[in-house]
Amino acid sequence: MKYTVITGASSGIGYETALAFASLGKNLILVARREQHLNELKTIIEKMNQELDIIVHATDLSVTENVYGLYENLKGFQIETWINNAGFGNFDKVGEQSLPKIEKMLRLNTEALTLLSSLYVRDYSNVVGTQLINISSGGGYTLVADAITYCATKFYVSAFTEGLAHELKSQGAKMQAKVLAPAATETEFAKRSFDVEEFHYDATLPKYHTAKEMADFLIKLYESEKVVGIVNGITYEFELKDPIFQYATRTTNTNS
C-alpha cells in the first residue's frame, strides 16, 4: 500500500488537501498538533471511502525531536507523496516581533520542512512516481510589509524546493520536487499571524481564495510536470511554471 503524508492537516489548506487526495483514492497519513481535529477528518474521509487507510499522527513539528520521531515512525509505510504544509505566519515589524513566536516559526517553516524533505529524498529519490510538495507562499516570491521574517522563511522554502528540483533532475532521479505558492487564503493563518480571535476575510481583503480552491490548485500542480504552482498576486489566477529563481551549476575554475 502507498500513502500520501500531509503535515498541517488539521485545518485550512492541509485539511482540504487531505479531502482532495482522498477523492483520488489515496491512503493518507495525517499529521498535525490537534489530534481531535485529525480524528474528525479521518471520520469524514472514511465515510467518503471505507477502503482507504487513514493514519493519524498528532505531533508538534516545531520541536526538532518530534520531526525525527515522526519520520522514524513512518519507516514501515511506503510513501508515494510527501506534502509539507505545516507552518504559520507573523505580522509585525522586525523590531517589534515576539521572538519566542519567531523562534517557533523558524523551526516549523524552515527547519522541520528541510529535515523532512531531506529524509524523504534520501529514502525515495529513485522511487518512480514519488513527489515532494512544499507549501510556500506568494510571500515566498514577494516581500510583504510587516511580514518580513515570515516572507524570509517562505523565500527559503521556495528557493530550497526549486533548487532541489534542479538537483534531482540533474541526477536523473525519479522523484519530482514541487512548490505551491498561495496568495491570501481563507484559513486560520490570519488569526495566528495577527494573534487575534477573529479575522473576517470578506471585510478585510478584496480578493482571496478558499482553502478548497487552493487544494484544487495543489492537485493541478501534483498532476502536472511543472515545478511551481503560484497564485498571481494581482489577478489571483493560478499559474503553473518552471522554476523561477536563477540556478547556477557548480563549475571548477582551475585558476582560483
At 47-73, the pLDDT tens digits run 999 999 999 999 999 999 999 999 999
- What global pTM score does this model have? 0.93
* Torsion sign (Cα): 84, 213, 130, 23: positive
Q: Say if residue 154 is exposed, middle or buried (CB neighbours under 10 Å; 0-12, 13-18, 19+).
A: buried
Domain spans of the chain?
2-241
C-alpha 6/C-alpha 14 separation (Å) is: 7
Q: ∠170-171-174 over CA atoms, to 5°?
A: 110
DSSP code for 127: S
CA distances from 44 to 5, 74, 86 (A): 17, 23, 21
**Exposure on the CB side of residue 14, measured as CA atoms within 13 A:** 30
The parts of the chain modelled with pLDDT lower than 50 are 252, 254, 256
Residue 134 C-alpha cell reads as 512544499
Q: ∠219-40-66 over CA atoms, to 5°?
A: 75
pLDDT of residue 190: 66
pLDDT of residue 9: 96
The three-class DSSP label of residue 61 is: coil
CATH value of 2-241 in 1.10.3470.10, 3.60.15.10, 3.40.50.720, 3.40.1160.10: 3.40.50.720
